[in-house]
Every structure is written in structure tokens, then in C-alpha cells.
Amino acid sequence: MLSRRTFVAMLAATATVGIAACSSNSTPQGTPPASGNGGSSPAAGDAFPITIKHALGEAVIEKKPERIATLGWANHEVPLALGVVPVGMSKANWGDEDGDGLLPWVKEKLDALGGQTPVLFDDTDGVPFEAVSNTKPDVILASYSGITAEDYATLSQVAPVVAYPEAAWITTMDQMIELNSQAMGMAAQGKALIADLDKRVAAAMEQHAGLKGKKVLFSFLNASDLSKVGFYTTHDPRAGFLVKAGLGTPEIVEKESAASKAFWKDMSSEKPELFNDVDILLTYGPADPTPLKEAIKADALLSRIPAIAKDHVVFLGQDALSASANPSPLSIPWGIEKYVAKLAEGLE
């Protein structure tokens, strides 16, 4: 991977070549063809140029983008859900059971669209600037991501960048859909997508009416260190999604969510009473949750939390279903019924 400094220098040196390439009808070697649109057309009111303001600046998109690149989690699912195959996107780094870089719902959608698999960016250790640039994007969608101001400045030399509206990693799924679809000139289709997803979630919740209003603590417990209880605040899409779906929020989560925009908080296990109103403890963990389950039950402090004492704990592993707990446009149709059913296990 090139360093940012080397990459910027490369951009400057090849600017003229890049302009010439953009005016050509040929496809750059080693990159997919322009994104397909699946027959979709811009909705009324989506006239270009479009300006999208965000936390890191603004993206001015002069014309309807044909080549779309995405960075971060699930941004690529918006164009895919709207029938457009990106030229490049971040590879899956969680829940990818077969190691092909694609979550199953993304693979299924690509197959349904008959599109070529996009270039997969490995952004585990930072933005792969050269790889993104090589896809020759017209726009870069990163509304749900952790790109920095410095990343943004560099990427903006490649194409307009749609970053997050407030802060890194707290963009809701609805916001992601709204921003990304707007950048594509498909705002109306984006709104329709949100409405469809809401209906799917509501239908799944109706099958488990006992969940309504139950307070869920979304955590990530580690058997090797039980001195703290970490949890997602409602600013994180995972916890925020549960609230929108009709579940309740524990008092400590409400308090910490109101105090800052942080998406994660740690509390000392020495105060287990802070979690007395938790009905279901939902936690990530290892593929085999048995050691973690035994550890928290045996812990002198954590075992005093009612949800743990009553075995109202739901364990998420490292599989695709666990990855779907971070809601996205394609994961909901694929797994919302299974996810809600798994949550309901916490009441048994």
C-alpha cells in the first residue's frame, strides 16, 4: 500500500493522464466497467449538480455518477439495493465465513444483478488510496465509515467524497441510505428502500411480540477481562436499530448516550447494579460461546446482573448472522427474521 504522501505525489504527476483517461470510452485495465444502473433513472428533483454537506466538508457531484466506489461498512449495499454495481468497495472483515471478501447477502445480490464482482478494497489498516484511485470513481460513498479529515482530503483529489453527517461510525442505516442515494441521483428510490426495510423489520417483530419494549444491552464481553462491561450507545447503528425496531433502552445506556456522541462506553464491573433493568444482554463473543457463558456466570460481580443470573443472554459469534446485527439494506431482507428470533431466545 502506498503512503498518503507518495499517493498524493502520484496523483499530481498523473493528473493530465487521469483527465485524458476520464474522457476516453475505454475501461481502465484491471478495473470493472462502469456501474450498471439496473434500469433505474433519477427521480424528479435529483437534477445535477448535487451538493451534499457532511462533517468533513461537502461533496459537489456535477453529473450522475456512473462509476461508484465505496469505503467503510455497507455503503456498497445502497447502490446494490438500487440496482447499481459499484466499481470498488471495502471487503468484508467480519462475518465472511468463506473468506471471499463478500457477505452472503452481497454475493446473492451481485449474482442476481449479473454484475462483475467489484474491486475489493482492504481497508483494515487504513484507506488503500491507490486501489481506490485505480477504479476511476466518479464518486466515493463513505457516509458510514471512519475516514479521517486527512483521508478525506486525499480521497477528494480522486473524486467527490460523501462522508458521515456528524461523526465517524455513528451514521444510522437510514442516514446512509439517504446520503448515498442522493449522491447517486436516486433520492426517491432511497426513501422507498427505507420504507420497505421498515416493513420487513416490523413484520419480523410481530412474530415475537414479547420483545416489544424489552431493554437490550448490546455488549462485547471478553472472558479474559471481565473487569469492565462495555456496551454500544444508541448512537451506534446496532443499538439504535433495536430502539427503532421497538425494543427498550437500559437506563445506563440512555444516560451515557445523552452525555456524548460516543458510540461505545465502558463501565466498571464493580457496579453491576447499573444493569439491573437490562432484560436481555446481547453480546459478541467467540464462535463457541460456552467458555464466555461459564465465565460470566462464575464471576462474582457479573453474576449479580439479573439478565446474567436468569440466563437472559444472547451470544453472537463471528458468522454472517452476527454481522447482520449491524443493519444494512441487504442484510435485513436476508436475515432479519433469524436475528429477531435469536433476540427472542433471550427471553426463554
pLDDT in tens, 69-97: 999 999 999 999 999 999 999 999 989 99
As a whole number of angstroms, the longest Cα–Cα distance in the chain is 68
More confident residue, 5 or 325: 325
Domain total of the chain: 2
In a domain, 179, yes or no: yes
**Is a pLDDT exceeding 90 seen at residue 263?**
yes
Residue type, 329: P
**219, 310: one domain:** yes
**168, 241: one domain:** no
Considering only 35-44, 273-282, 323-332, which range has the smallest mean pLDDT?
Answer: 35-44
Nine cell digits for residue 125: 489498516
**Is a pLDDT exceeding 90 seen at residue 29?**
no
In a domain, 333, yes or no: no
Considering only 2-6, 46-50, 178-182, 281-285, which range has the smallest mean pLDDT?
Answer: 2-6
Give the closest residue to 206 by CA, choosing from 151, 245, 258, 149: 245
CA distance 285 to 31: 37
**19, 146: one domain:** yes
**31, 60: one domain:** yes
Range of 240's domain? 209-317
**Is a pLDDT exceeding 80 seen at residue 31?**
no
pLDDT score for 35: 52
**183, 221: one domain:** no
CA distance 163 to 152: 8
**35, 160: one domain:** yes
**169, 99: one domain:** yes
pLDDT score for 46: 73
pTM for this model (two decimals) = 0.87
> Mean per-residue pLDDT for 119-131?
96
In a domain, 204, yes or no: no
**220, 155: one domain:** no
Q: How confident is the model at residue 3 (pLDDT cuts 50, 70, 90)?
A: very low
Q: For 275, how many CA atoms within 13 A lie in the half-sphere containing its CB?
A: 30
Grouping H, G, I as helix, E, B as strand and the rest as coil, residue 334 is: helix
130 contacts 157 by C-beta, under 8 angstroms = no
**Is a pLDDT exceeding 90 seen at residue 153?**
yes
